[in-house]
Amino acid sequence: MIASCLDRRAIGAKMPAMTRFRLALLSVVGVTLPLWGPGAALAQAPVPLAADRAQLSACLRDNRAGTPACIGSIAVACVGAASTDRRGAEVGCARREEAVWRERLIQAVQQSGRALDAGQRSRLVALQLSWEGFIAQKCAFYGSTQREGLQLGRQAGCELREVASRTLELERTTMRQAPTRRPSQPPQIIR
């Protein structure tokens, strides 16, 4: 019943990023996959731009106390720069920023998994995959409740916010778990 409410095209548009995320999560536990099958969808996923990475990193560095303020910074500037169809640009701009956040999310999950044993890493991956499915359904439902012309843009914005929030959550957790320790003496080479 609920599936009939969801825009299947919007869900299909999200699948490449979800597939890339799932493949990266599987790499946390050391699973390898063949290059055929799900990997074919990866070519459609947006690739983060170096300028977007730098812009987000600068925002996070400058707003350390208020990092949620950085969510949407790339997408808002991108939509503002769109000269003709701003409503059409919403989806592409949100996906563009989401790609940068997903890249950081994959790094945060991998960093979180380093200190875990194999069983804990498997549970971490299962948790992340469940979260990913929940977010896809939540945002597809949210998008389906909007007016016809706003659905895809609002769904993409929802996914951007959720991915960015989860990334910040994991990055904060990872920073608390692994305090940086400096050696009391520099390493010595013994000959």
Q: What is the pLDDT along the chain (191 residues), one digit of tens a residue?
A: 334 344 444 444 444 555 555 555 555 545 433 333 333 334 345 777 899 999 999 999 998 766 788 999 999 999 988 878 788 889 999 999 999 999 999 999 999 888 889 999 999 999 999 999 999 999 999 999 998 888 999 999 999 999 999 999 998 887 776 555 555 677 777 77
pLDDT at 103 (0 to 100): 95
pLDDT at 126 (0 to 100): 95
The answer to whether 130 and 67 are in contact (CB under 8 A) is no
Q: Which residues contact 70 (CB under 8 A, 6 or more apart)?
A: 56, 59, 60, 63, 164
Q: Is 33 helix (H, G, I), strand (E, B) or coil?
A: coil
pLDDT at 186 (0 to 100): 73
- Rounded to whole angstroms, how far apart are CA atoms 77 and 87? 14
Both tokens of 123, joined, read 């549970």
pLDDT at 22 (0 to 100): 53
pLDDT at 188 (0 to 100): 74
The CA dihedral of 114, 110, 175, 64, to the nearest 10 degrees, is: 170
Angle between helices 86-114 and 50-62 in degrees, nearest 10: 70
Tokens 């597939």: give the residue. 19
Return the DSSP state at 47.
P
pLDDT tens sequence across 120-171: 999 999 999 999 999 999 999 999 999 888 899 999 999 999 999 999 999 8
Both tokens of 91, joined, read 């989806």
The answer to whether 90 and 156 are in contact (CB under 8 A) is yes
pLDDT at 13 (0 to 100): 47
